[in-house]
Chains A and B, each alone.
Chain A
Amino acid sequence: MTGVEGDGSATAQEMASAWAQVEGARHPDRPYSLDLIARCLDDFIELHGDRQGGDDAAVVIGLAKLEGRRLAVVANQKGRTLEERGRRNFGMAHPEGYRKAQRLFALAGRLQLPVISFIDTPGAYPGVAAEERGQAWAIAQTLEAQLALPTPYLAVVIGEGGSGGALATLLADSVLVLEHAFLSVASPEAAAAILFRDAGRKQSAAAALHLEVSNLLKWGIADEIVPEPPGGAHTDWDGTAALLRPRLVAKLEQLVAEGVGPVRRRERYRRLDGLFQA
């Protein structure tokens, strides 16, 4: 059992450090998935639709190559312009987005393609239509689709990793996280509303949730923190990609060599929290 890693309410320094993690991940000039895909992968071709009647632009799927190796790609996509933000719904998927991801996992399994996912979402879309069409069911099925994937699977958290929506493309054999990205059970605002009944206390919530990226490594949820250029990814997209691409190549080589698959992946997520090892 790991010892207690803090106690009492957060200090000003803890709040500042946890909140900096959140602000870095949300910076409006930060490279989004397609920006990094264009710079890290070769020959990316986007595919469209869940084949069940929808094509959610908050999730992008496609095929690409990396150092000659064939790949399937799935990514959360935020919008840059006002029009694109609306069309991509700020990177928050509806059930069609999760079903689109499931289609990608099925395709990858059939064609024996390794998968790379790019995670950058505040969470699943909190709306009436999403609930009417089975948001929770879509996410649950996507969790299982990831665990059942027969090919190597690498995930990269490039910005916000919010809640169950992020988990839908996170359950990989290896998880990379950019230096200024974060993963959280809920957005700091939502957590503050629940914990303090005050969404304004988001900085306290971020500190209480220990959102600093180093913790993900310590806890075994992430396998590697990928450094960003000095000043952060938002100052230098090419530099960010130049640091990320070799890590993708190396990790993917490693996973392919290890011959990973559903047995090992299920075991990883079954034992992940490192507790209760009787």
Chain B
Amino acid sequence: MSASPTYSPPKAVAAEKSGAVVCAVCSSSQSAGEAAANLYVCLACGAHARISAHERIRQLADPGTFKVWDVGLEGSDRLGFFDTRAYVDRLDEARIRQHLPDAILSGAAQIGAIPVGLAAFDFGFLGGSLSTAVGERLARAIEASAEARMPFVCVTSSGGARMQEGVFSLMQMAKTVAALHGLAERHLPFISVLADPTMGGSIASFAALGDVILAEPKAMIGFTGARVITQATYEQLPAGFQTSEFHHARGLIDQVVDRRELRPVLTQLLRVLSAPAGDIEQSAA
């Protein structure tokens, strides 16, 4: 694990701040400054736009506290994969466009002055899919948090497995779940935040195993996507199928939290979960 002493958000975040922002749901337009100030939640309809990993860190970490982990850790094209294009080309393009080595950014940070391990998925990087490098970066972030006796917070936005890495991608589900044990055995909390979308192998592994699970409003969350279900079964989909609210109503998510409340809610959770000296964690035999 390598931690850089300083972290300055790359131009990707600045790029998000330039130009007008048009809501994908209601098409209302906001100035770049307004959109950024409102954390990319539509002022007209409240839709939560997908945001980059860099922007997510900017929104959640106390300013100046984020120290990125595993800067240079990148994956490779193990299968020599070629669909309509070479996977290596897709990877290179995504790295440049998203200013990330792969679809996740992780590091040490403070939220409300409480030290945490913090990871954020980047949906713009090949759909936030779970590659070997993403699995490895996530596992290392979990382990680094456990090592430093810090709670771990992960904001997931991921379509699931990365097809181009075949069965290696599938095995990242096992890898990340195996790593989470390091937090459990030290009695440290894992707070899983589900953003739009959290699907397939990501929700069927680490993301569903949070001690506390939060989700942004109207995020799509589920194992199999609605389109595939309809094609496979011809079933009618109930209203609000696979939204955060749908899962919350069924006891699968603790709270649906507006993005503008996410930092305060996380701060409160972390404060409540912080172990004072001499509490049961230390005194347990």
The residues of A with any CB-CB pair to B shorter than 8 Å are 1-2, 4-9, 124, 126-128, 130-137, 139-141, 143-144, 147-148, 163-164, 167, 171, 183-186, 190-191, 193-196, 208-210, 215-216, 219, 221, 262, 265-267, 269-270, 272-273, 275-276
Contact = CB atoms under 8 A, between A and B. Distances in A.
A265 B174 CA distance: 10
Interface in B212-230: 221-224, 228-229
Contacts of B161: 163, 185-186
Given A130-B223, A164-B200, 16 more contacts: A4-B78, A8-B80, A127-B235, A131-B222, A132-B250, A136-B203, A137-B252, A144-B177, A185-B167, A196-B84, A272-B175, A273-B175, A275-B76, A275-B132, A276-B73, A276-B136
B83 A136 contact: no
**Central interface residue in A148, A210, A272, A276, by most chain B CB within 10 Å:** A276
Closest 5 CB pairs of A and B: A6-B80, A140-B208, A126-B224, A269-B174, A136-B203
A163 B167 CA distance: 8
B175 A269 contact: yes
B174 A135 contact: no
From B173, B175, B180, name the one whose CB has the most chain A CB atoms within 10 angstroms: B173
22 contacts: A1-B76, A4-B77, A4-B78, A6-B80, A126-B233, A128-B235, A130-B223, A131-B242, A137-B203, A139-B205, A143-B174, A148-B181, A164-B201, A164-B223, A190-B228, A195-B163, A208-B81, A209-B167, A216-B167, A219-B167, A269-B171, A272-B175
A124 B208 CA distance: 16
A209 B79 CA distance: 7
Contact of A185 (B170, B181, B204, B246): B170
Contacts of B205: 139-140, 143, 164
B173 A143 contact: yes
A124 B222 CA distance: 12
B241 interface: yes
A88 to B, nearest CB: 16
Nearest to B198: A136
Contact of A137 (B76, B170, B208): B208
B209 interface: yes
B209 A266 contact: no
Contact of A141 (B84, B172, B209, B222): B209
B250 A140 contact: no
Nearest to A272: B171
B206 interface: yes
Interface string B119-143: 0000000000000100110010000
B277 interface: no
Contact of B171 (A6, A265, A267, A273): A273
B7 interface: no
Nearest to A144: B177
A275 B165 CA distance: 13
A85 B73 CA distance: 46
Nearest to A135: B223
B46 to A, nearest CB: 24
A208 B82 contact: yes
A193 B13 CA distance: 33
Given A1-B76, A163-B170, A275-B75, A140 B204 contact: yes
Contacts of A190: 228
A6, A140, A190, A262, most chain B CB atoms within 10 A:
A140
Given A127-B235, A131-B242, A132-B250, A186 B163 contact: yes
Contacts of B173: 143, 164, 167
Contacts of A221: 167, 171
A242 B96 CA distance: 55
Contacts of A164: 170, 173, 200-201, 204-205, 223
B166 A184 contact: yes
B148 interface: no
B232 interface: yes
A135 B222 contact: yes
Contacts of B177: 140, 143-144, 147, 269
Contacts of A273: 132, 135-136, 168, 171-172, 175
B222 A136 contact: yes
Given A126-B228, A126-B232, A134-B252, A185 B223 contact: no
A127 B233 contact: yes
B53 interface: no
Contacts of A1: 76
Contacts of A272: 171, 174-175
B169 A185 contact: yes
A128 B168 CA distance: 28
Nearest to A139: B204
A111 to B, nearest CB: 23
A2 B78 contact: yes
